Amino acid sequence: MKRKRGEQGSAAVAFSLATFLVIFTIVTVYLFLAKPAWGWFPPSITEFGKQIDAQFHRTLVITGIVFVVAQLGLALVIFRSRDHGQKASFFEGNSTMEFIWTLATVIMFVGLGLYGEHAWAEAHFQGAAPGALQLEVTGQQFAWNFRYAGPDGKFGGTKPELVSASTGNPLGLDPRDPASKDDVVSPVAYVPMGHEVELLIRTQDVTHSFYVRELRLKQDAVPGMTIHMHFNAEVPGEYELACAELCGLGHYRMRSFVNVVSQDEFDKWMRDQETALQQQ
Amino acid sequence: MVTHESGGHHHPPSGFIRKYIFSLDHKVIGLQYYFLALFSVFLGMALSMLMRIHLVWPDAKMPFTPGGQMTPEQYLALVTMHGSIMVFMVLTTAPQSGFGNYILPIQIGAEDMAFPVLNMLSFWTTFVSLMVLVSAFFVTGGAPISGWTAYPTLSALGEIAGPGQGAGQNLWIIGVAIFCIGSLLGALNFITTTVDLRAKGMTLGRMPLTVWAWLVTAILGLLAFGVLLAACLLLLLDRVAGTSFFIPGGLVVTDTPIVSHTGGSPLLWQHLFWFFGHPEVYIAILPGMGVASHVLSTFSRKPVFGYKAMVGALGAIGFLGFCVWGHHMFISGMSPYSAFAFSLLTMTIGVPSAIKTFNWLGTLWGGRIQFTTAMMFGLGFVSLFVTGGLSGLFLAQPSIDLYLHDTYFVVAHFHLIMGVAAIFGIFAATYFWFPKMFGRMLNETIGKVHFWFTFVGVYSIFMPMHFLGLAGHPRRYADTTGVNFLAPLHPVHYFITIAAMITITAQLIFLFNFFYSMKAGQRATENPWNATTLEWSIPSPPPFDNFAGHIPVVYRGPYEFSVPGATDDYIPQYLAPERVGKAH
């Protein structure tokens, strides 16, 4: 049959498209292998976080292989099957191949998913270890407040109508409840290193999200709910907490810090807070 | 060509208004949807350009911010409107309502949609919803700042929760609700048309994969938009009628107790929203898959590899799409046990997606590829679908989601898969069907320049965002100076903004080609691509009732390319067996 313009001379287009796909694949693989310091997770400070990193790497390997095979396969077929005057072969499918790659992807993807459930189960199916430090985290537009139960080990009652960030009662502690007298409220968190911490995550107004990269933890703070999470940090330092759920115009600056310190430093900090409370 | 007589030749309406404004012709309505999407996509891109500029040059003066730089609430209003306009007015509208309306009836051999009046109403409903949505920019407080997902209680409490959360949020909810109605009407029409109006011989197994994709998409739309409509009405009631579907008691906003609500659940909205929202992703991408299969087969001059598997995969993706909404909610506070099921079901969607990818490669393998611009965009679709799909395997796992949820990794993922891949499907469809729709060819040289700018451009914009996400950069941040660990990422933002400016500017090339070729392009023949389906049996552009009263009879499957023994390398569906091998 007669050929039309555009059907011939496809070598240059085929070559440039295939070349682009090859370069794109190489650059992408290089970047994910190089793990650039600016664009990678900071080191984990919990054992739990290391499990998540391991699962991330397993996923990276499997998706990486599929990515390379598919992109290079596309580049290869674009170049190989370009129009150079040949007749196209005729086949409408192949059930055996169809079955093999369906089975292969089922095993690969579902297997990967099953494997990753361990870390999730540890975060959510198990409660905090006995003797964990109770730490209440409350989000509000656009600040975080942390509350410790104090020596009595009990969080005191709060009342919405008593909430007043401007007069120093951002959580609305009820002064008539004796259990609230020793509650320590702080805009930054201190936690003892190597000690289990149980978070009670709450919000006063809209949905926020507690996110500390080094803990590998993120949890929405949902109006009307108190959500429990737990962690055990093993590396001292100051770690930034950034709100991860759109909460209004100040979302981008709603941050705080979680300070992981030695048990001695933690005890001292807590004593200072309690002393300050008694002097009020 | 053997034809099947229909009830007789219909005459087109005379008069401008009946012909072009309130037209009942599916082709005119398809074009109306297409132009609505074209307007919306440039509006949506302009909004994203302003966002990108603000992120890199926060002090830049913008045309609409008199006397100063953009405020955080203005940035978030852009986030909301960019997302809403792109998802509803572009990704839902162009591939399904636009091309589906124009091409589907012709491809199955029908003279029009089953319900032409309903069809006209669904377009005008959609038009009204766009007007209502955009009007949110112009009311006191501006457009809403709660994102296209509009999570309560931010979206439910009214002005006290932030600027734009008063009248702007109301208009957003009403606009989206109206859109749902238009989409429901459209979905009904598509399903009925496909089931009832197929020409003689057009069995289900002979339907082009585009028709299958539009059918599955319509079924998804029918089931999903009703849920969003209900959710929008409940949210509106919470805001204006004092109900508490989504608002619990005991809330305090900036020291002011909210005493008028009690007992609601913000998670209820998330369940309803994502029960719609996840199928919506497939509403955007399935038509693109259909177009990619169609274009890849046509221009590699080979049958689609595994036609039945492709149909099965479309159905499987559609069905599984309704079972996985919870993967948007792993860290939302829903039961962690359900995350287990949602995760595995989501990983399972990777299987039909992989089948499609393999079959596309199988279609190309051993072909004789013609690199038309439509084909280039089809090939780009496959590459983008792979890249954007694979990052989904990270986000489908709740443990990894603990780190990556709501970061730029998610932004990269969904832009590549549901944004850019779907747009590449739209571009492939445009370059492929433009000759049929306007009777002239799009300029191929300009088309290829447009392809290269766009393909290299979108990867340059969205690949670096994965690394922003890996560094923990949360999405929807109006400013990158509020959190210390974002400071080293500024050069990445800078790179992305430059790439976005070039890519968006390059879309003017497309716009020029589109309108220039419409007026002055080379005249298109009936079947310029030597393609096989029914739309290529009629003049370009088609007459008013498509087949001038002579409905074709269908004799074979849609992808008979390079059949051994035939003289031509394609056998149209409408070619009678006794005519095969002879000149036609």
* Assembly ipTM: 0.95
pLDDT tens for residues A65-106?
A: 999 999 999 999 999 999 988 888 888 888 888 888 889 989
Residue A155, pLDDT above cutoff 90? yes
Q: Which residue is it, tokens 């497309």?
A: B510
- How close B390 comes to chain A (CA, Å)? 6
User: Under CATH, domain A133-279 is a member of which superfamily?
Assistant: Cupredoxins -  blue copper proteins (2.60.40.420)
Query: Mean pLDDT lowest for which of A101-110, A136-145, A247-256, B111-120?
Result: A101-110
Distances (CA, A) of B562 to A97, B308, B565: 22, 19, 9
Q: Are A122 and B336 in contact (CB under 8 A)?
A: no
Which of B75, B79, B252, B335 should we substitute to test contact with A (largest number of A Cβ atoms within 10 Å)? B252
Amino acid at B120: M
pLDDT tens for residues B273-303?
A: 999 999 999 999 999 999 999 999 999 999 9
- Non-local (6+) Cβ contacts of B199 within 8 A are B4, B108, B109, B110, B534, B551, B552, B553, B554
* Chain B residues closer than 8 Å to A67 by CB: 386-387, 390
- Non-local (6+) Cβ contacts of A242 within 8 A are A211, A213, A254, A255, B472, B474, B483, B485
Q: Which of residues 169-228 of B touch A (CB under 8 A)?
A: none
Q: What is the pLDDT of residue A9?
A: 53
Alpha carbons B150 and A63: distance in angstroms, whole number: 32
**pTM attached to this predicted model:** 0.95
Share of chain B above pLDDT 70, in %: 97
- The CATH class that applies to domain B3-248+266-579 reads mainly alpha
pLDDT confidence bin for B2, thresholds 50/70/90: low
pLDDT tens for residues B72-88?
A: 999 999 999 999 999 99
The minimal CB distance from B354 to the residues A21, A105, A209 is found for A105
Residue B6, pLDDT above cutoff 60? no
CB contact under 8 A, B351 and A102: yes
The domain limits of chain B are: 3-248+266-579
Torsion of CA B294, B299, B303, B309, to 10 degrees: -40
pLDDT tens for residues B361-393?
A: 999 999 999 999 999 999 999 999 999 999 999
CB contact under 8 A, A87 and B73: no
pLDDT tens for residues A250-277?
A: 999 999 999 999 999 999 999 999 999 8
The domain limits of chain A are: 11-83+95-124, 133-279
Q: What is the pLDDT of residue B408?
A: 98
- Non-local (6+) Cβ contacts of B15 within 8 A are none
Residue B36, pLDDT above cutoff 60? yes
Q: What is the pLDDT of residue B399?
A: 94
Which of A24, A91, A144, A249 should we substitute to test contact with B (largest number of B Cβ atoms within 10 Å)? A249
Q: Which of residues 259-298 of B touch A (CB under 8 A)?
A: 264-267
CB contact under 8 A, A245 and B151: yes
pLDDT confidence bin for B187, thresholds 50/70/90: very high
pLDDT tens for residues B222-265?
A: 999 999 999 999 999 999 999 999 999 999 999 999 999 999 99
pLDDT confidence bin for A7, thresholds 50/70/90: very low
pLDDT confidence bin for A4, thresholds 50/70/90: very low
CB contact under 8 A, B399 and A120: yes
Which of B382, B403, B448, B484 should we substitute to test contact with A (largest number of A Cβ atoms within 10 Å)? B403
* Chain A residues closer than 8 Å to B459 by CB: 24
Residue B166, pLDDT above cutoff 60? yes
| B177-184: average pLDDT | 98
Residue A8, pLDDT above cutoff 50? no
* CA atoms within a 13 Å half-sphere pointing along the CA-CB vector of A186: 21
Q: How many CB pairs under 8 A join A and B?
A: 358
Residue B120, pLDDT above cutoff 90? yes
pLDDT confidence bin for B5, thresholds 50/70/90: low
